[in-house]
């Protein structure tokens, strides 16, 4: 019986460690989970209708890392490791030029400081995200 309870203890410690590990991965900007659980929801909600799928406003599509590195008419949207040089960050901080490329999202509320910080943290840690899906065409 003691063995059974001891075993149960080991299992629950294991489960706690596992769940902490998942949370840790979400908070750790050097892991792709940071992008999928924190960054992508922001991009989907605030940028997607103009920069995802078939939308390439300003020449920029954000579906893949390759596309963000290629960027739009003004060059790379992200410079991994350097938020200050990344158009994406400059424009959401409203520190871009007044007109071309204009601050993002256009004619809408500025992102919250918390959301801006998430994007900055992600780029600073190297803009890590899951590998690009294979090309379909």
Binding site for ligand HEC (CB under 6 A): 46-47, 49-51, 57-60, 71-75, 77, 87-88, 91-92, 100-102, 104-106, 111
Q: In angstroms, rounded to a whole number, what is the distance separating the alpha carbons of residues 57 and 61?
A: 7
Nearer to ligand HEC, 29 or 92 (CB): 92
CB of residue 38 vs ligand HEC: minimum separation in angstroms? Answer: 14
CB of residue 10 vs ligand HEC: minimum separation in angstroms? Answer: 46
CB of residue 116 vs ligand HEC: minimum separation in angstroms? Answer: 9
Considering only CA atoms, give the Rg of the chain: 19
Q: Which of 67, 69, 79 is nearest to 126 (CA)?
A: 79
CB neighbours (10 Å) of residue 65?
17
Q: Which of 28, 128, 48 is nearest to 80 (CA)?
A: 128
Nearer to ligand HEC, 29 or 72 (CB): 72
């Amino acid at each position: 019986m003691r063995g059974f309870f001891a075993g149960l203890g080991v299992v629950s410690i294991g489960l706690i460690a596992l769940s902490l590990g998942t949370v840790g991965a979400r908070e750790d900007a050097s892991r792709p989970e940071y992008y999928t659980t924190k960054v992508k929801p922001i991009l989907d909600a605030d940028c997607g209708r103009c920069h995802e799928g078939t939308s390439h406003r300003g020449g920029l599509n954000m579906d893949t890392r390759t596309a963000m590195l290629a960027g739009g008419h003004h060059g790379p949207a992200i410079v991994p490791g350097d938020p200050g040089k990344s158009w994406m960050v400059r424009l959401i901080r409203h520190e871009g030029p007044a007109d071309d490329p204009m601050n993002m999202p256009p004619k809408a509320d500025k992102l919250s400081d918390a959301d801006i910080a998430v994007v900055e943290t992600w780029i600073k840690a190297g803009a890590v995200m899951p590998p690009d899906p294979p090309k379909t065409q």
